[in-house]
């Protein structure tokens, strides 16, 4: 059994996201994979991962796993080194700046697989990628900041808005990563709404023209009808046809925008859509064939 730890020098840098993306890749490759965390001196099941992962996936016991991925939180460097030595493990470090890397290379030695720099702006990624000295420092990947990982499912948004009426599935797990305001736009309606994926439309409930254009775009997963106006029956029928929940709220369109501005600042890694997205990002930025080859190589001579 190979044990790979995911850790960082700080919190909120995407350890769970990257752990999940690697775990999904391992499972897709047919490896018996256990995803864990470290608590009270032992490796336990990472409930956060399994609570959002595909429910049809059959969990693997750690004793029967070919690859064990462990998220480490709130440990000192010495505690982390003791853990990986005890478990004959390797470690991947997640940081949000290349300035945070360096001393760990000597500290962890051959047990350090490398660094993943996560959540950087595009121009900074280009600077890092073109710097040969930095790229010789065991950097596995540089990942851009992503809006998709800030998304939420429709149910969570519906619960937050506390609507006066819900037409459709109030438990909808439709994924929302963009909010578009319905109004007067110069573009043809469906073309405007198709500029973004996984959209929640915010528009007055008495604007069937806007609502139908949004539905026709094929990108809308939720309709928020404002100003206490319930959309007309034809709009509701079209929304039902495409499994799009419609919620009616008392607030005006701009009040809802203000509410959601506060809401989207607080996001979590909480859906299978985000696991898939995290894996896709890693596939585009990491040589997984080489990485899994490293995982399978013994450390102890």
pLDDT level of residue 282 (50, 70, 90 thresholds): very high
Cα distance between residue 241 and residue 127, in whole Å: 47
Residue scoring higher pLDDT (75 or 270)? 75
List of domains in the chain: 2-148+269-296 (3.40.50.300), 152-263 (3.40.1390.20)
| CA distances to 84, 97, 125, 163, 221 from 145, in Å | 29, 12, 10, 32, 23
Q: Specify the pLDDT at position 152.
A: 84
Q: Which position has the token pair 């206490």?
A: 228
Higher pLDDT, 163 or 145: 163
Flag whether pLDDT at 235 surpasses 90.
yes
The DSSP 8-state label assigned to residue 30 in this structure reads T
Strand order in the sheet with 2-7: 42-45, 33-39, 67-71, 2-7, 90-95, 112-120, 139-144
What average pLDDT does the segment 211-237 reach?
95
pLDDT band at residue 99, thresholds of 50, 70 and 90? confident
Query: Does position 275 have pLDDT exceeding 80, yes or no?
Result: yes
Q: Is the pLDDT of residue 225 over 90?
A: yes
**Mean pLDDT, the chain, as a whole number?**
88
pLDDT over 90 at 241, yes or no:
yes
185-193 own/partner pairs: CB under 8 Å, 24+ apart: 188/213, 189/213, 189/214, 189/216, 189/217, 190/214, 190/216, 190/217, 191/217, 192/217, 193/217, 193/219, 193/220
pLDDT for the residue 186? 47
* Core vs surface per residue 233-270: b (16+ CB within 10 A) or e: eebbebbeeeebbbbbbebebeebeeebeeebeeeebb
What pLDDT shows up at residue 267? Answer: 65
Of 16-20, 129-133, 207-211, 285-289, the one with minimum mean pLDDT is: 129-133
pLDDT at 62: 95
CA dist 246 and 256 (Å) reads 14
Is the per-residue pLDDT at 231 higher than 50? yes
């Amino acid at each position: 059994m190979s044990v790979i730890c995911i850790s960082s020098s700080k919190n909120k840098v995407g350890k769970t996201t990257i752990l999940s993306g690697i775990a999904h890749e391992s499972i897709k490759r047919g490896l018996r994979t256990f995803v864990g965390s470290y608590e009270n001196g032992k490796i336990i099941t990472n409930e956060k991962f399994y609570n959002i992962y595909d429910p049809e996936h059959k969990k693997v016991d750690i004793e029967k796993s070919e690859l064990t991925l462990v998220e480490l939180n709130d440990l000192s460097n010495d505690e982390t080194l003791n853990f990986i030595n005890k478990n004959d493990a390797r470690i991947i470090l997640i940081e949000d700046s290349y300035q945070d890397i360096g001393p760990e290379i000597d500290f962890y030695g051959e047990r350090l697989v490398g660094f993943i720099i996560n959540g950087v702006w595009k121009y900074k990624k280009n600077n890092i990628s073109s710097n040969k000295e930095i790229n010789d420092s065991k950097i596995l990947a540089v990942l851009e900041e992503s809006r998709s990982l800030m998304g939420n499912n429709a149910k969570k948004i519906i619960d937050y808005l506390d609507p006066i009426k819900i037409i459709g599935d109030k438990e909808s797990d439709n994924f929302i990563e963009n909010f578009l305001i319905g109004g007067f736009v110069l573009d043809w309606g469906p073309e405007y709404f198709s500029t973004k994926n996984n959209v929640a439309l915010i528009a007055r409930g008495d604007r069937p023209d806007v609502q139908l254009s949004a539905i026709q775009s094929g990108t809308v997963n939720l309709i928020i009808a404002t100003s206490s106006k319930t959309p007309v029956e034809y709009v509701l029928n079209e929304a039902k046809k495409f499994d799009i929940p419609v919620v009616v709220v008392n607030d005006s369109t701009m009040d809802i925008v203000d509410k959601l501005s506060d809401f989207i600042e607080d996001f979590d890694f909480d859906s299978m859509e985000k696991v898939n997205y995290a894996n896709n990002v890693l596939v585009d930025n990491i040589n997984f064939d080489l990485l899994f080859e490293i995982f399978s190589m013994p450390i102890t001579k």
